[in-house]
A and B are shown apart, each in its own frame.
Chain A
Amino acid sequence: MNALLLGAVAYDPKVVTIWEGFRRWLGGRGFEFDFVLYSGYERQVEDLLAGRVDVAWNSPLAWVRARRLAAAAGVEVRAVAMRDTDRDLTTAVVVRSDAPLTSPADLRGRTVAVGAADSPQATLLPLSLLRSAGLEPGSDVKVRRHDVGVGLHGDHIGGEREAAIALRDGLADAACVTDANLLLFGREGTLVPGSTRVLAQTAPYDHCVMAAGPGADRASAERFAELLLGMSYADPEARPLLDLEGLTRWLPGRTSGYAALEAAVDESGFYDREGGVRAGDRRP
């Protein structure tokens, strides 16, 4: 059996430490594994579909695109594992506490700060939430985008932090941030606790997912998933890797948490139905 090859996006230098650690840990259990790092998700998804990598550690948006590309090509991609921390996130539309705004519709004619163009959590999903409240981004509300780390699908926190700062500094009337980052920004003081309130929040959605592509040997991909699911937080060798990757345990992959993002992608025309990348400025 050849080594299973994983693709991952290097959104931070720690990604090298993480996957080298996983390679060592998996190797110690007799599982041959290697990885390649990408500077962005689009090429990773294309390589997954082309069989150049067996599995891809996909952002939710990368999962949506991979699924569309696979369906169009008549091949299969499978969600084999995800982190416990990938399930049931929400994004909040936050306003300043003293703002005279009580519902999303009150944002009409105002400015909403979002993250990077390709951030599912800080841009695509919350803008879809506004659409469902009858506000078309770009015409009914002005969108102030913060394109930090475009290509990384919002993995870089910078876009969200800049959106929060824009709200704080009066450059925007609302900001879109995930629940975890809203808590973080309060704790680190980027947003003074009590200075903001939540105007609306998305329904729960899922985040990253480990996807097996059409080129993966099925038994090998299953063994890989089985080993991941067996990683214990009690294992002192595995624990630092889990901490770095931000989970306490791996769970089976599920695909039920991406419907809202599929809709948001369609509404915004981010990808076409076949997973093709639409025009637009997405330079890193």
Chain B
Amino acid sequence: MPVTVDLETLGLDTGGHLLVQRALAGLRPGGRLRVRGSHPQLALHLGAWCRARGHRVELAGDAPLIVKGAADELRWAGAERAGLPGQVSGRADPRWGLAARGALVEAGGPPLDVAWAERDLVWAEVAPRLYARAAAAQWDPATAVDWSAAGDLPDDVEDAVVQVMTYLVENEHAALIVPARMLANLHPHFREVMQLLAAQVADEARHVEVFTRRALLRRDAPGVSGAGGRASLRTLLDETDFTLASFLLSVLGEGSFVDLLKFLDRHAPDPVTAAVTRLAARDEARHVAFGVAHTAHVVRADPAFLSRLRTAVERRHEALRDTAGLNREVSDSLVVLAAGSWEPAAIRRGWDAVRRLRSEMDEGRRRRLAHIGFPDDEAAELSALHTRNFM
């Protein structure tokens, strides 16, 4: 006895095929389905619909009879799952393409052309937690900062703030582009890393916005952009390896940057400068956490990778040997900003504060390098080779 489906008055031109499809799904090829219904064009529609799907239809009896074809089963014959939904595979198959982790993937179609498809080259166990934290900590520049609270600063203190903001914006441009490039070459099977990098890119986009807005709050144009600083940032963009890019940008660069942002928050001459640097520092700390955890993950899997990290630092140092590092305008502005006035005693306090900042940055880098697996002496040596441009 064939299975029966009753479409009542429904036609195949208004969704009736869904009921037919559902009934056919329970049959094997060769199985028979009787289709009842009172739509005047039912038989005509069924003939056309079945023909296109490789089913046969017999119209001789009191209601059309479909003999199921094999096309549906054949289509899925070579399908395989894109890994397991709850488990990150050691290697993501390029043939899984953009499919969700664990989805049943029809065979065929173009393989995904991405460089990073090995878990241990991109992963960190903390990635899912960091992503959840990043998603929960997104903030709206329009409301998270009270833009009316800036007040009026002495002209040259305002100039110093504008110069520092100008410098921050160009650093954030690099910090946005590097993870965007990593993201574009990452297999989406490593979903949590992809999401985390996407949140990181969104964070940097926000930082660019708030630093630009602060720079232009009382001025018509931002400050200057030194060639040495741009050369330093350019070397970050040149790094094509996922882990080396993450290491140079996040472990060393953004790590130092967090110290700088905290310094700016602490010494900010106005509440807006304090707010934007405090908000950015929180985000950057997450970026650093992933960079450190990921690099440590790679080194645990392959301790010899330490020498590649070392070479990357040395290569960047070599590339920047002939540049001036942090430009004088930025460096002077930091002192003035921390001083808050041009009183000689204040300038001295500002000077000391910037000196302490450099030393905090160095300590932070050494701590992170040691966490990754470098012996203390080597960590100190590598920290000293870090760019004088901070990032």
A residues bordering B, Cβ < 8 Å?
84-85, 87-90, 92, 178-180, 182-183, 186-187, 193-194, 197-198, 201, 232-234, 236-237, 239-240, 246, 248-249
Contacts and interface: CB of A to CB of B under 8 A. Distances in A.
A256 to B, nearest CB: 17
B108 A240 contact: yes
B48 A178 contact: yes
A160 to B, nearest CB: 13
Interface of B: 11-14, 40-41, 44-45, 47-49, 51-54, 69-71, 74-75, 77-78, 106-109
Given A198-B40, A232-B74, A233-B74, A84 B13 contact: no
Nearest to B108: A236
A179 B48 contact: yes
A234 B77 contact: yes
A233 B69 CA distance: 11
A183 B49 contact: yes
Nearest to B75: A233
Contact of B11 (A85, A186, A233, A239): A186
B306 to A, nearest CB: 43
Contacts of A236: 78, 106-109
Nearest to B70: A233
A84 B51 CA distance: 7
Contact of B40 (A84, A183, A197, A249): A197
Contacts of A248: 53-54, 69-71, 74
A180 B109 CA distance: 28
Contacts of A194: 11
A249 B44 CA distance: 22
Given A84-B51, A187-B12, A187-B13, 7 more contacts: A85-B51, A92-B44, A179-B45, A180-B52, A194-B11, A248-B54, A248-B69
B12 A183 contact: yes
Nearest to B106: A236
Contact of B44 (A201, A232, A237): A201
Given A186-B14, A197-B40, A88 B75 contact: no
**4 smallest beta-carbon distances between A and B, as pairs:** A236-B108, A186-B13, A248-B54, A236-B107
A201 B54 CA distance: 22
B54 A233 contact: yes
B242 to A, nearest CB: 30
Contacts of B54: 84, 233, 248-249
Given A187-B13, A248-B53, A248-B69, A90 B44 contact: yes
Interface centre among B13, B54, B78, B107 (most CB of A within 10 A): B13
A234 B14 contact: no
A233 B44 contact: no
A209 B14 CA distance: 32
A120 to B, nearest CB: 16
23 contacts: A84-B51, A89-B51, A92-B44, A182-B48, A183-B44, A183-B48, A183-B49, A193-B13, A193-B14, A198-B41, A198-B44, A201-B44, A233-B71, A236-B108, A237-B108, A239-B75, A239-B108, A240-B109, A246-B52, A248-B53, A248-B54, A248-B70, A249-B71
B52 A85 contact: yes
B67 to A, nearest CB: 13
Interface centre among B71, B77, B107 (most CB of A within 10 A): B71
B308 to A, nearest CB: 38
B47 to A, nearest CB: 5
Nearest to A181: B48
B11 A193 contact: yes
A92 to B, nearest CB: 6
B12 A88 contact: no
A84 B74 CA distance: 15
Contacts of A92: 44
A87 B40 CA distance: 23
A88 B47 contact: yes
A10 to B, nearest CB: 22
Contacts of B107: 236
Contact of B41 (A182, A239, A246, A249): A182
A84 B50 CA distance: 10
Given A198-B40, A236-B107, A180 B12 contact: no
A182 B78 CA distance: 34
A85 B48 CA distance: 9
Contacts of A237: 108
Contacts of A240: 108-109
A229 to B, nearest CB: 15
B52 to A, nearest CB: 6
A182 B77 contact: no
Contacts of A186: 11, 13-14
A233 B54 CA distance: 10
A175 to B, nearest CB: 14
Contacts of B48: 89, 178-180, 182-183
B44 A182 contact: yes
Given A182-B41, A236-B107, A90 B71 contact: no
